[in-house]
Amino acid sequence: MSSPTVTGEVKHSSPARPDRPPPPAGKHPSGRRTWRQSLRRDWQLYSLAVLPVTFFLVFRYLPMIGNVIAFRRFQPGGSVLGEHWVGLRYVQMFLEDPTFWQVFRNTLWIGLLTLAFCFPIPIVLALLLNEVRTRALKRFVQSVSYLPHFLSVVIVAGMTMQMLSGDGPVNHALTYLGHDKISFLQEAGWFRTVYVSSEIWQTAGWGTILYLAALTTIDQDLYEAARIDGANRWQQMWHVTLPGIRPTMITLLILNIGAFMAVGFEKIMLLYNPLTYSTGDVVSTYLYRTGIESNSFSYAAAIGLFEAVIGLVLITTANRLSRRTVGTSLW
């Protein structure tokens, strides 16, 4: 007796998936750890951030509350946040002060010269050192170039003053060549040259180290492919090397633009004098003389707030332009 035949379509059912167990208590449904679990697991690592965070809170963020005295009348011995609300009075005062606009122009000039020379020179020096094949010579040049970075600003300023003094080696060389001595530190026309030159000598080596580190991350196969295509050394540098270190270049450029207004306060304070105020007096030194020496704290706070706002606008604009043009940014 034959078994009955079943007609029609046979449906194949897939095996049922086991239910996913619920996430443990305190864990994110996606499987990622919550910040409490990460803190409990890696509390030793997080504890290393206590001192830096405390430093920035105490010495960077809490003092920002004091910016309110830019809009209040502050007197030593009175209220910490000022006595009376004066609005934009101090802002109007420095905007109408011709001395402020003179130091503002000096700041722009020194900032532009510093950016124009101190930014590209480390790149050029790094590219030149990258072509050196003698390891001993390369290490020697690196050590000599970045050693000034570790010197105190006081030492750098002192060495600059000794080199450029009336009896210094520079004037001795000029006299030997038949030229008259130059008062580098007393003539206003030479101050910007002296400052930018000392800044190049102190910072070029350290920037070179950063770019050399970026050069080591470039894939060597790119150079091999460029050589196969017939590219010479100049073309390899232009089409392989520079694009390879572009993120580092953009990052350092944005940081330099952010510090554009805050040119070297300590070095300028050590190098300048009343004879060079016309070209060497910048916003930070004018702020120091006005606030600390003249006790005009509210007026100085308004100037400092103005300088900080300009710096914030510059770094934000540079970061946005960099993100839109080359796709690299700080945030």
Domain span including residue 301: 69-325
**318: number of Cβ within 10 Å:** 20
Burial status of residue 245 (CB atoms within 10 A of its CB: 0-12, 13-18, 19 or more) = buried
Q: How far apart are CA 128 and CA 58, in angstroms?
A: 43
Residue 2 has phi, psi (to 5 degrees) of -80, 150
Which pTM does this prediction carry? 0.79
**Is the residue at 316 inside a domain?**
yes
Q: How far apart are CA 127 and CA 145, in angstroms?
A: 14
Give Cα separations from 229 to 220, 233, 237, 267, 286 (angstroms): 15, 12, 14, 50, 57
**Is the residue at 61 inside a domain?**
no
* Count: domains in the chain: 1
**Is the residue at 285 inside a domain?**
yes
**Is the residue at 193 inside a domain?**
yes
**Is the residue at 217 inside a domain?**
yes
**190 within 8 A of 184, measured Cβ to Cβ:** yes
Q: What CATH code is carried by the domain that includes residue 182?
A: 1.10.3720.10
**Is the residue at 35 inside a domain?**
no
Provide the pLDDT for residue 154. Answer: 94
Q: How far apart are CA 159 and CA 223, in angstroms?
A: 43
Residue 7, SS3 per DSSP? coil
Q: List the structure tokens of 224.
A: 């091999």
Closest by CA to 222, choosing from 255, 245, 248, is 245
Residue 26, SS3 per DSSP? coil
**Is the residue at 330 inside a domain?**
no
Per residue of the chain (331 residues), what is the pLDDT tens digit?
444 444 444 444 445 555 555 555 555 555 567 878 888 888 888 899 999 999 999 998 998 888 888 888 888 777 767 778 888 898 888 889 888 899 999 999 999 999 999 999 999 999 999 888 888 988 898 888 889 999 999 999 999 999 999 899 999 999 999 999 999 999 999 999 999 999 999 999 988 999 999 999 999 899 999 999 898 888 999 999 999 999 889 888 888 888 888 888 899 999 999 999 999 999 999 999 988 888 888 899 999 898 889 888 988 988 888 888 877 777 7
Q: Which amino acid is at 145?
A: S
Helices (H), the chain: 35-41, 43-47, 50-56, 89-95, 98-118, 120-130, 135-146, 153-164, 169-176, 188-215, 220-228, 233-236, 242-244, 246-258, 265-271, 277-280, 283-288, 297-325
Q: How far apart are CA 295 and CA 318, in angstroms?
A: 35
Q: Which amino acid is at 60?
A: R
